[in-house]
Amino acid sequence: MSALRRLFAAGLMLAFYAYAIEPWWLRVRQRVLYLDGWAPALDGVRVLHISDLHIGHSTSRAVNFLERAAREDVDLVVITGDFIAGPSGIAEIKPALKKLTERHRVIGIPGNHEHRYHEYHLPRDGEWRNRIHIDFPAVVRELTEAGVTMLVNARQEIEVRGATLTLVGVDDPFSDTDDLHKTLGGLDDMSTVVMLSHSPDSHAEAAASGIPLLLAGHTHGGQVRLDPLFRPITGTRTPLERPSGIIKRGATTMHISPGLACTVVPFRFRVRPEATVLELRARS
């Protein structure tokens, strides 16, 4: 076999892996986060962080992943946006989330796909995609009826292990609909706060507010990683040290979920879908 044929065969094998194997290969990762300024009363709280389900692209895969995640022993589940891929996903949200919300308290925030989606086509007049808006209130209503507590520029205090945890959820920064200042609204004690934002672009604002932990998604971990040849695509306005995982800024720790699904192209390469169990600890 010539070198060119071997190269072509290797390319086909990699494409098959990225399309048919890795997007289905869920990783459930366990992480311990040591947080600056974290309330000792909340030491050891376990949070399952998932993001970017994109229901409507591959609903059966989302259901499979959510059923697996529902078996985790955690205090609560947070979903940091992009529940749907487009309007077809709205009708499929409730059954897809049923296994999870029946077992766990689930808190969610909107992502950019709850506001709009894109249709892609060959370039016409310099444009290669159409932006189509979604009925945002209807999506939030469906998610709420599915058992998800949606925080849209809102906060909620919940009791966890006999202590009070404050969840602060902003609308999508990528859509310029977030308002952290309004959401914090007179909140002085940040030691019990976990902030939820779809985009990691909120990190600077969270750090300026003294919030110990920010949970975000949106990047898909780059989805297709070809570094060091190419920089991972994250879809953020602010360059990131890494496309997923843990990033520190001042006293604020941010965890970026690699997400569960694909977008734009149906491939994942060197970025397995992930549900992350975060054990929160006060840094001594």
Tens of pLDDT along 214-265? 999 999 999 999 988 889 999 999 999 999 999 999 999 999 999 999 988 8
Position 125 scores a pLDDT of 66
Q: What distance lies between CA 4 and its chain's CA centroid?
A: 40
When divided into structural domains, the chain yields a total of 1
Judge whether 120 and 145 are in contact, CB under 8 Å.
Answer: no
CA distances from 135 to 74, 140, 141 (A): 32, 9, 10
C-alpha span between 153 and 171 (Å, rounded): 5
DSSP state at residue 84: B
Tens of pLDDT along 47-81? 999 999 999 878 889 989 999 999 999 999 999 99
Of 28-37, 119-128, 191-200, 274-283, give the lowest mean pLDDT range.
119-128
Q: What distance lies between CA 157 and its chain's CA centroid?
A: 21
In a 3-state reduction of DSSP, which class is residue 250?
coil
pTM of the model: 0.95
Sign of the torsion formed by the C-alpha atoms of 58, 59, 61 and 62: positive
Q: Residue 90 — very low, low, confident or very high, per pLDDT cuts 50/70/90?
A: confident
In a 3-state reduction of DSSP, which class is residue 231?
coil
Position 237 scores a pLDDT of 93
The domain that holds 272 is classified in CATH as 3.60.21.10
Position 124 scores a pLDDT of 65
Structural domain including 272 reads: 3-282
Tens of pLDDT along 197-212? 999 999 999 999 999 9
The position carrying tokens 């970017």 is 52
